[in-house]
Amino acid sequence: MEKINVAILGYGNLGKGVETGLKNAEDMNLVGVFTRRDPSTVKSETKAYHIDELANFKDKIDVLIMCGGSKSDIPEQGPIMAKDFNTVDSFDTHAKVPAYFDKMNEISLQNKKVSIISTGWDPGLFSINRVLAQAVLPQGETYTFWGKGVSQGHSDAVRRIKGVKDAKQYTIPNTELVEQIKNKNHVEYQNNTAHKREVFVVLENGSDQNEIERQIKTMPDYFADYETTVHFIDEQTMIKDHSGIPHGGEVLRLGQTGNEGKSLYGFSLDLTSNPEFTASVNIAFARAAYKLSKANQYGAKTVLDIPIAMLSKHDGEYLRAHML
Amino acid sequence: MEKINVAILGYGNLGKGVETGLKNAEDMNLVGVFTRRDPSTVKSETKAYHIDELANFKDKIDVLIMCGGSKSDIPEQGPIMAKDFNTVDSFDTHAKVPAYFDKMNEISLQNKKVSIISTGWDPGLFSINRVLAQAVLPQGETYTFWGKGVSQGHSDAVRRIKGVKDAKQYTIPNTELVEQIKNKNHVEYQNNTAHKREVFVVLENGSDQNEIERQIKTMPDYFADYETTVHFIDEQTMIKDHSGIPHGGEVLRLGQTGNEGKSLYGFSLDLTSNPEFTASVNIAFARAAYKLSKANQYGAKTVLDIPIAMLSKHDGEYLRAHML
C-alpha cells in the first residue's frame, strides 16, 4: 500500500499527540517533525528538522499537520505553508475563523493545495454535531457544555497573578441543567450559569492567600461572572493529582417534530487527554486532505465541507457493507 | 427565495412525518402526496395523487422522498423512480444495502439524477457516527445500543401468533453494560445480552395465556436468545399507554490514544416519535439531494458521502461565522 506522507510542524503537547497517534494509522508515514527550536534539543521519536528545512521537503510531504497555537503560530504559519503543502490545523479562535478561512482559501486555491482548518473537537466534531442537529431538528435549541476539563487559557490567566507559582483550572458543566435537558425540558442557558470554575493553586512562599483568591474571583471575563471555587494545594499534590489534561463536553439539541414529538440529540466526549484526542482528529482530517488533493478538490475546507467517508481508511464499498 | 419542490411517495407513518416536518423547512415546498391507494381515501393535508400521475410531475418535483417499506416497496420503487427523479429513501435492510446502492447508482448516473439511500438514524446518523468514531479513534471498540423503543418487526411477529389480538414490543438496552462503557471499561458485547425485550399483549377471548407466552419466548431469532418479559394487558391499557412509537439508542466508542489516554465518544438519540424523527432526517437529506443535483454530482450516495454543510439551509459563510 502506498502510504500518505505526513509531517508535523510544532512539537508541543499537540505535536507529540500527532506523533503518537500516527502509530495507529497504518496508511500513513511520518516523514519528520519540524520546529523553530534547535532540532537537537527536541526529544521526538521521529527525526526533527528545523522549520527552514521544510523547503527541501515540498515533494516528500503529502500533508503537513500544523500543531502550533491559535494565537500567533497558526495565523502566521498557515498562509505561508499553504503555498507549498496541503495542511491541516486546529485553529480554534472562533471569531477569527471567517477571515482565516478566506485567506487560506485564496492561497491554497492559487497553489492547488488543500487546507483543512479548525479540526479538533470544538471547533471540529462539536461543530459537525451543531450543524447536523440543527439541520435535522430545525425547531429546537442547541446547548453546548464543556468539561469537566482543563482550560489552558484560564490556568494561564491564574498563573500570571503575582504570588502564584502554579495553577490549574477546571471547567465544570452544570450537571443539573444537563439533566433537565436530558429529561426533555427546555432551559435558560447562559455560558456563565451553565458552567462552574474550579481552580487549584500553588502559592509562592509568603503570598497572601486571601488576596490571590480575591484576584482570581474578580478577574473579568475569566472568572467574575462564574461560580468559582479556589483550592490552595502544595506542589506535590499538584503534580500527583493535576498533571493530566482531561477534557470533554457535550452538544445537546432538544427539538420538536410534529405537534407532540420531542427529540433529544446528544453528542458527547470524555477524554483523559485533550491534546491526544485533538491530534487523533487532526490525523483523520489529514487523510481527508490527501484524498481531496488526489481528487483535485483544492481550497480551504472546514470539517463541515468534508464527507465522513473521506476520514476513513476504508473505501465506500467496505463502508456500505460493514459500517452503514 | 426559490423553494425546493418536494413530493412524498407513500403515506404511512413516515410519509405523514415528512408532511408534518416540511412545515419546519421554510426553504421547501410540498408539491403533493403520491400513493398506490385511491387518492380520495388518503387523509393527507396536502393534495394526494395516484402514483401513476407521477409521470406528469417530472419537471415539477426537485426531490422525491420515498416513504414506503424496505421489504418490498423501496427495492421495487427506487430503481423506477431514479430514472425520473432525485430521490431520498430510508432503506434499512443493512444486508441488502450494497446491491441496492449499485442498482440505484447505475440508474441515477444514467439519468443524471441523485439518489440518497438509507437515510434516517440507523442506518443514517448512527452510521455517520460509527464511521467518524472509528476514523478518529482507530484503536478501540464501537458499541451500538437500541432503545428503549418500539420494534415494529418484533411487534408484528407477536401479532401473527394465533390468539393474539394486539401486541407491542419494546427493545431495552442493558443499562448496566452502557454504564460500564461510560466508565471507560471495555465490555463483552453481544446483541442478545446487550438488549432485553419487553412485550405487551392483548389476547383474543379464550386464548391460552401460558401457551402464548411460551410461543413468544421460544420464537427463534426474535426472542429465543433474549431475556424476554411478557405482560398481558387489556385493550384500553394498550391504547392508553402504548400508542406512541418512541425509539432511540446510542453509539459509543471507547478508544485508546497514546499509551494511557482513553477517549469515550458518544452519540445518542431519545425520540418520542421514531417516524417523525426519521422523516426529519429524510428532509435534511432531500435538501442535500437538491444541492448535489444543482452541482451535477449525480449517482447514488449514502449519508457517508455527503458533507454535513449540505444538510443545512445556511451557506458556508454563515456556518463558519456562527456554527463552527
Question: pLDDT tens for residues A116-138?
Answer: 999 999 999 999 999 999 999 99
Burial class (CB in 10 A: 0-12, 13-18, 19+), A272: buried
pLDDT of residue B80: 98
Strand ranges across the sheet with B195-203 = B149-150, B164-173, B195-203, B227-232
User: How far apart (Å, rounded) are the C-alpha atoms in residues A275 and A287?
Assistant: 19
Same domain, residue pair A55 and A96: yes
What backbone phi and psi angles, to 5 degrees, belong to B40?
A: -70, -15
Quote the minimal CA–CA distance from B60 to chain A in Å: 24
pLDDT of residue B42: 95
CB A276 within 8 A of CB A21: yes
User: How far apart (Å, rounded) are the C-alpha atoms in residues A308 and B303?
Assistant: 8
CB atoms B324 and A270 under 8 Å:
no
CB atoms B261 and A271 under 8 Å:
yes
Same domain, residue pair B114 and B83: yes
Q: Is A4 on the interface with B (CB under 8 A)?
A: no
Taking the mean position of all CA atoms in its chain, how far away is CA A215?
A: 29
Taking the mean position of all CA atoms in its chain, how far away is CA A204?
A: 32
CB B22 within 8 A of CB B28: yes
CATH code for position A246: 3.30.360.10
Task: Please identify, among B253, B270, B287, the residue that sits at the C-terminal boundary of a domain.
Answer: B270
Bridge partners, residue B28, by sequence: B4
Residue-number span of the structural domain to which B250 is assigned:
126-270
Burial class (CB in 10 A: 0-12, 13-18, 19+), A14: buried
Q: Is A313 on the interface with B (CB under 8 A)?
A: yes
Same domain, residue pair A41 and A152: no
What the block records as the C-alpha cell of B282 is: 429524510
Interface of B with A in 79-98 (CB under 8 A): 94, 97-98
Q: Is A140 left (phi over 0), alpha (psi -120 to 50) or beta?
A: left
The yes-or-no verdict on residue B1 having pLDDT over 90 is no
Is B73 annotated to bind a ligand? Reply is no
CB atoms A20 and B259 under 8 Å:
yes
Question: At CA B178, angle to CA B175 and CA B179, rounded to 5?
Answer: 90
Residues 6+ apart with CB under 8 A from A321: B97, B98
Question: How confident is the model over B79-122, as pLDDT tens digits?
Answer: 999 999 999 999 999 999 999 999 999 999 999 999 999 999 99
What the block records as the C-alpha cell of A97 is: 475563523
The yes-or-no verdict on residue B260 having pLDDT over 90 is no
User: How far apart (Å, rounded) are the C-alpha atoms in residues A151 and A140?
Assistant: 29
Q: How confident is the model at residue B265 (pLDDT cuts 50, 70, 90)?
A: very high
CB A288 within 8 A of CB A310: yes
**Residues in A touching B184 (Cβ below 8 Å):** 270, 272
Query: How many separate domains does chain B show?
Result: 2
DSSP strand pairing (A86-89 vs A114-116): parallel
Residue B207 three-state SS: coil
What the block records as the C-alpha cell of B130 is: 460509527
Same domain, residue pair A105 and A238: no
CB atoms A135 and B284 under 8 Å:
yes
DSSP designation for A2: P
Is B12 annotated to bind a ligand? Reply is yes
Q: Is A259 on the interface with B (CB under 8 A)?
A: yes
Residues 6+ apart with CB under 8 A from B301: B114, B115, B116, B117, B292
Q: Is B304 on the interface with A (CB under 8 A)?
A: yes
In B, minimum Cα distance to A317 occurs at B98
Partner residue opposite A127 with nearest CB, options B184, B264, B324: B324
Q: Is B322 on the interface with A (CB under 8 A)?
A: no
Among A102-111, A256-265, A312-321, B147-156, the minimum mean pLDDT is found in A256-265
Same domain, residue pair A35 and A142: no
CB atoms A182 and B272 under 8 Å:
no
Q: Is B263 on the interface with A (CB under 8 A)?
A: yes
CB atoms A306 and B307 under 8 Å:
yes
CB atoms within 10 A of CB B142: 18
CB atoms within 10 A of CB A203: 18
What backbone phi and psi angles, to 5 degrees, belong to B250?
A: -150, 150
Question: How confident is the model over B175-206, as pLDDT tens digits?
Answer: 999 999 999 999 999 989 999 999 999 999 99
Same domain, residue pair B131 and B184: yes
Strand ranges across the sheet with B261-271 = A140-146, A247-257, A261-271, B261-271, B247-257, B140-146
How many beta-carbon pairs below 8 A join chains A and B? 230
Same domain, residue pair B104 and B201: no
Same domain, residue pair B47 and B26: yes
Q: How confident is the model at residue B274 (pLDDT cuts 50, 70, 90)?
A: very high
Q: How confident is the model at residue A298 (pLDDT cuts 50, 70, 90)?
A: very high
Bridge partners, residue B230, by sequence: B199
Same domain, residue pair B11 and B77: yes
Closest by CA to A114, choosing from A314, A282, A302, is A302
Q: How large a percentage of chain A has pLDDT more than 70? A: 100
CB atoms B313 and A139 under 8 Å:
no
Average pLDDT of chain B is 96
CB A140 within 8 A of CB A254: yes
Helix (H) or strand (E) holding A176: helix A175-182
Question: How confident is the model over A105-118, as pLDDT tens digits?
Answer: 999 999 999 999 99
Per-residue exposure over B98-119, b if at least 16 CB sit within 10 Å of its own CB, e if not: bebbebbbebbeeeebbbbbbb
Quote the minimal CA–CA distance from A249 to chain B in Å: 10
CB atoms A257 and B277 under 8 Å:
yes
The yes-or-no verdict on residue A33 having pLDDT over 90 is yes
Question: At CA B208, angle to CA B203 and CA B212, rounded to 5?
Answer: 75
Q: How confident is the model at residue A260 (pLDDT cuts 50, 70, 90)?
A: confident
The ipTM of this complex is 0.96
Q: How confident is the model at residue A78 (pLDDT cuts 50, 70, 90)?
A: very high
User: How far apart (Å, rounded) are the C-alpha atoms in residues A140 and A136?
Assistant: 10
Interface of A with B in 164-183 (CB under 8 A): 182
pLDDT of residue A259: 76
CATH code for position B104: 3.40.50.720
CB atoms A266 and B266 under 8 Å:
yes
Same domain, residue pair B142 and B232: yes
Q: Any idea which residue has 384500553 for its cell?
A: B236
Closest by CA to A107, choosing from A72, A78, A68, is A78
Dmax of chain B from CA atoms? 67
Same domain, residue pair A66 and A147: no
- Give alpha helix (H) positions in chain B: 13-21, 73-81, 97-110, 125-136, 152-159, 175-182, 191-194, 209-217, 235-241, 274-294, 316-322
Same domain, residue pair B161 and B245: yes
Task: Please identify, among A228, A247, A270, the residue that sits at the C-terminal boundary of a domain.
Answer: A270
